[in-house]
Amino acid sequence: MTSLSVGVVGCGYWGPNLVRNFRNAAHCQVKTLCDLNEDRLRHMRQLYPEVNGVTDYTELLGDQGVDAVVVAAPVKYHFPLAQAALTAGKHVMIEKPMAASVAECEELVELAEKNGLILMVGHTFLYSAAVRKIGEIIRSGEIGDIRYINARRLNLGLFQKDINVAWDLAPHDISIILHLLGEYPGTVNCQGNAHVTPGIEDVTNMSLAFGKDRFATIQSSWLEPRKVREMTIVGTKGMIIYDDLQAQQAIRVYDVRVDRPPHYDTFGDFQYSYHYGDSHIPYLRQEEPLKTECQHFIDCIRSGNTPVTDGRQGLELVRILEASSQSLRSNGAPVALNRPAIPVPVTSAGPAVSSRADLINGSVAPAQLIPV
C-alpha cells in the first residue's frame, strides 16, 4: 500500500483542522469532503480545489477509492456515520467522545474487529509532547507516587446542543488522567447545573476514585470569563503543573512536598515537615498534537498496528461519561463502574512508536517510546 485516500465528514468547527493535517500527512491524500452545508463545502473547495465535495454520505461510502473515513460531526451522529463506514469496509477515525453510549461504542468495536479494520478515537492530548513528557517524569519516579490530580478546563462557550459540558470538555482530561495513572477508576461522582440551556449542564465537577486512595477531580465549564487549561499532579516527592495555554513553558516540575512524622509522643511534638526545593521547566519539542495523531492513524492502517487511542479506549472513556451522567441524575451520588479491574495500557505516541501491542508484549523497550 503506497498511499491512502481519506474522506472527512463534517466541515464545521474541527473538520478543517483535520483536513489540513491529513493533507500534510505522509502517504495520504484527502479525496472527499462531506457536509450537508453547501456553503461550508464551497469554502473548503476554495481552499483545496483538488478535493471533492459531496452532501450525500452514501456517495462517499460508495467510492472504492476512499480507504478511510474521518468523522468530525456532532456526537449524536458519530455512531451511524462510523457504523456505515465500517460496514462499507472503511477504516474509521472518530473525534471524541467516540459515541453517545457504551452500547454504541461496543457495537463499533465489535464491527471493526469483525471486519479487520482500524478504529481510532481522537483523544488528541495523548499525542502531545507535554503529556508524553509528564508520563515520562512520573514513570521515572521523580515526583514519587501520585496522590491526586486536579484538572480545570474552562471557557466561555462553545455551547453544545446535544451533549453537556462534561461530555464536551472532560474527555480531554479523562484521557490524560487514565494515561498518567495507568488504571481505570472504580467510581465516578458528578455534580453540575444547567444555567443557559435547560437539561444541558454547562458547569460540572467530576471526581474519579482510583485504587491506593488516589482520586482525580475535573472541573468543566462553558461559563467562565477566561480560558483555563490547567492540570496539577501531586506526588509524594514532588508536583507538576501543566498549563496547555503556555506553549513554551507548558510543564513546570516542583520539588515540593509535605511529610507527616511517622511517630510522635505528644501533640506538642507533632509537626508537619514542609520541603521547598527548586522548580524546573522541561524542554518540549514543539509539534502540533493533531499532526501526530493524523499521521499515527495513517501509519496504523498501513502497518496493521493497534492505535494508541483505539476503539476500546474510546469505549472505556464513554463508560466513565455515561456513569457521570447517571451520577448527575442522582444529585452527585457515586456510581460504580461495572467493568473488570484491568490496568490501562501505558501508551506513548510519536515517531518511535510502532504499536500499543508491542509495548504491552514487552517487545519495545520503554526508552524507545519517548520521542527525542
Domains and CATH numbers, the chain: 4-117 (3.40.50.720), 126-288+324-335 (3.30.360.10)
Q: Which residue has the cell 514487552?
A: 362
Higher pLDDT, 278 or 238: 238
Q: pLDDT tens across 70-83, in order?
A: 999 999 999 999 99
pLDDT at residue 104, rounded to an integer? 98
Calpha distance 186→179 (Å, rounded): 15
What's the average model confidence in pLDDT over 207-227?
97
Residue 51 has pLDDT above 60, yes or no: yes
Non-local CB neighbours of 255 within 8 Å, separated by 6+ positions: 237, 238, 275, 276, 277, 278, 279
Q: pLDDT tens across 133-177, in order?
A: 999 999 999 999 999 999 999 999 899 988 999 999 999 999 999
Residue 68 has phi, psi (to 5 degrees) of -145, 150
pLDDT bin (cut points 50, 70, 90) of residue 278 is confident
What's the average model confidence in pLDDT over 331-340?
86
Mean pLDDT check: name the lowest of 30-34, 204-208, 364-368. Answer: 364-368
For residue 186, the number of C-alpha atoms closer than 13 Å in the C-beta half-sphere is 8
Cell, residue 285: 519539542
Residue 366 has pLDDT above 80, yes or no: no
Q: Which residue has the cell 453544545?
A: 160
pLDDT bin (cut points 50, 70, 90) of residue 364 is very low
Residue 276 has pLDDT above 80, yes or no: no
Name the β-bridge partners of 232: 150, 241
Residue 58 has pLDDT above 90, yes or no: yes
**What number of residues does the chain have?**
372
Residue 48 has pLDDT above 80, yes or no: yes
Cell, residue 149: 490530580
Q: Tell me the DSSP string of 215-277.
A: EEEEEEESEEEEEEEEEEEEESS-EEEEETT-STT-EEEEEEEEE--S--SSGGG---EEEEE
Q: What is the DSSP letter of 147?
A: E
For residue 72, the number of C-alpha atoms closer than 13 Å in the C-beta half-sphere is 19
pLDDT bin (cut points 50, 70, 90) of residue 256 is confident
pLDDT bin (cut points 50, 70, 90) of residue 262 is low
Name the β-bridge partners of 52: 32
pLDDT at residue 371, rounded to an integer? 25
Higher pLDDT, 278 or 15: 15
pLDDT bin (cut points 50, 70, 90) of residue 271 is low
Cell, residue 245: 495555554
Q: Which residue has the cell 481505570?
A: 184
Calpha distance 160→75 (Å, rounded): 10
What's the average model confidence in pLDDT over 271-281?
74
pLDDT bin (cut points 50, 70, 90) of residue 357 is very low
